[in-house]
């Protein structure tokens, strides 16, 4: 039952937040071949790579959204693709925040309503201070379709942080933002990771933001190569 799901508290003996083993996946051609990756507490991992190299596909696999053709994804010690659907859903709901490349807000609703749905599901409270910091406080009551791309992007980031997840998967979260706003947003994400002793898997084209992570990988020829 969903209500029986308990968050695993920070510092729980030696469990990796994320541990992916030997992932392989192909659509028209092999995109990922035998990829392994772990993320521990307070670790921020960035992935770069050319368009079409499979970054979003890898993110979707790690974030419980797409079962890989081969390999395992363990989140907080649970092999997520061996779980029953409702258990996987509970992990996604309570432990994971996904910032999509194309932000996936509900278009007919306001920003505030979009955030409210996420917090209702996860049982958390919207954070007024965060809205102020991300510069979205005054636009929360507008319909999503009346907002710019960057405004929508910030609302989707606020929505994810408001869920208070341990693991954040962010796919080009600053793609629509100017440098200054991008840094404000990433600082908020980084601080959150520190606060909850969480982990971040970040896909980005922004080298400076990638460099502020603990590890940077390039996805190329279906392999993850450690850049730094
Ligand atoms: N559901 C799908 N069905 C078939 N092919 C897919 C699917 N999703 C992605 N692909 C293909 O897999 C390849 C990698 O896509 P992906 O979105 O993972 O790349 P990416 O590295 O995130 O690119 P970008 O930087 O442009 O966002 C592309 O050739 C894409 O067409
Ligand atoms: Mg992508």
Indicate if the pLDDT at residue 10 is higher than 90. no
Indicate which ligand has the atom closest to the C-alpha of 52: 1
Indicate if the pLDDT at residue 2 is higher than 90. no
Residues 26-53: what's their mean pLDDT? 96
- pLDDT at position 4 is 46
Confidence tier at 7 by pLDDT (50, 70, 90)? low
Confidence tier at 188 by pLDDT (50, 70, 90)? very high
Q: Which protein residue has the closest C-alpha to ligand 1 atom 6? A: 27
- pLDDT at position 168 is 98
Confidence tier at 18 by pLDDT (50, 70, 90)? very high
- pLDDT at position 104 is 87
Confidence tier at 1 by pLDDT (50, 70, 90)? very low
Residues 78-92: what's their mean pLDDT? 96
Q: Which protein residue has the closest C-alpha to ligand 1 atom 31? A: 52
Give which of 213, 148, 209 is closest to 180, Cα–Cα: 209
Residue ranges lining ligand 1, Cβ < 6 Å: 27, 31, 49, 51-57, 101
Q: In which element (H, E) is residue 216 found?
A: strand 215-220
Q: Which protein residue has the closest C-alpha to ligand 1 atom 27? A: 51
Q: Please give the distance, rounded to the nearest whole angstrom, from the Cα atom of residue 90 to the centre of ligand 2.
A: 25
Q: Token pair 């958390």 is at which residue?
A: 124
Q: Which protein residue has the closest C-alpha to ligand 1 atom 24? A: 51
Q: Token pair 């408001």 is at which residue?
A: 162
Q: Please give the distance, rounded to the nearest whole angstrom, from the Cα atom of residue 55 to the centre of ligand 1.
A: 8
Q: Given the CA of residue 101, which atom of ligand 1 is nearest to it?
A: 27
Q: Please give the distance, rounded to the nearest whole angstrom, from the Cα atom of residue 100 to the centre of ligand 1.
A: 13
- pLDDT at position 103 is 83
Instruction: Tell me the average pLDDT of the chain.
Output: 93
Indicate which ligand has the atom closest to the C-alpha of 50: 1
C-alpha distances (whole Å) from 140 to each of 112, 124, 187 are 5, 18, 21
pTM of the model: 0.92
Q: Which protein residue has the closest C-alpha to ligand 1 atom 4? A: 27
Rounded CA separation 106/114 (Å): 6
Q: Is CATH 1.25.40.10 the classification given to domain 41-53+86-226?
A: no
Rounded CA separation 148/223 (Å): 35
Rounded CA separation 67/55 (Å): 15
Each domain of the chain, given as residue ranges in start order, spans 41-53+86-226
- Inter-axis angle of helices 111-122 and 149-162, nearest 10: 20
Rounded CA separation 210/183 (Å): 12
Question: What tens digit of pLDDT does each residue of 46-82 get?
Answer: 999 999 999 999 999 999 999 999 999 999 999 999 9
What totals of helices (H) and strands (E) does the chain contain, helices first? 7, 10
Indicate which ligand has the atom closest to the C-alpha of 51: 1
Q: Which protein residue has the closest C-alpha to ligand 1 atom 1? A: 27
Q: Please give the distance, rounded to the nearest whole angstrom, from the Cα atom of residue 109 to the centre of ligand 2.
A: 25
Indicate which ligand has the atom closest to the C-alpha of 219: 1
Question: What tens digit of pLDDT does each residue of 127-136 get?
Answer: 999 999 999 9
| Sign of the dihedral defined by the CA atoms of residues 168, 174, 179, 182, in that order | negative
């Amino acid at each position: 039952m969903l209500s029986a799901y308990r968050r695993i508290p920070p510092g729980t003996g030696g469990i990796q937040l994320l541990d992916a083993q030997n992932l392989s996946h192909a659509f028209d051609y092999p995109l990922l071949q035998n990829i392994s990756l772990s993320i521990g507490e307070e670790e921020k991992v960035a992935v770069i790579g050319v368009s079409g190299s499979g970054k979003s596909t890898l993110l979707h696999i790690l974030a419980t959204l797409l079962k890989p053709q081969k390999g395992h994804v363990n989140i907080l010690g649970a092999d997520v693709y061996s779980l029953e659907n409702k258990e996987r859903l509970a992990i996604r709901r309570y432990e994971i925040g996904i910032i999509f490349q194309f932000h996936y807000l509900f278009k007919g609703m306001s920003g505030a309503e979009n955030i409210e749905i996420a917090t209702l599901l996860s049982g958390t409270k919207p954070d007024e201070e965060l809205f102020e910091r991300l510069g979205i406080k005054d636009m929360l009551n507008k319909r999503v379709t009346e907002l710019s791309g960057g405004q929508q992007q910030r609302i989707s980031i606020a929505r994810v942080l408001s869920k208070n997840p341990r693991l954040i998967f962010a796919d080009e979260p600053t793609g629509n933002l100017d440098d200054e706003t991008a840094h404000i947003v990433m600082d908020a994400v980084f601080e959150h990771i520190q606060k909850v002793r969480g982990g971040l898997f970040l896909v980005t084209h922004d080298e400076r933001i990638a460099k502020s992570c603990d590890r940077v990988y390039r996805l190329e020829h279906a392999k993850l190569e450690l850049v730094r």
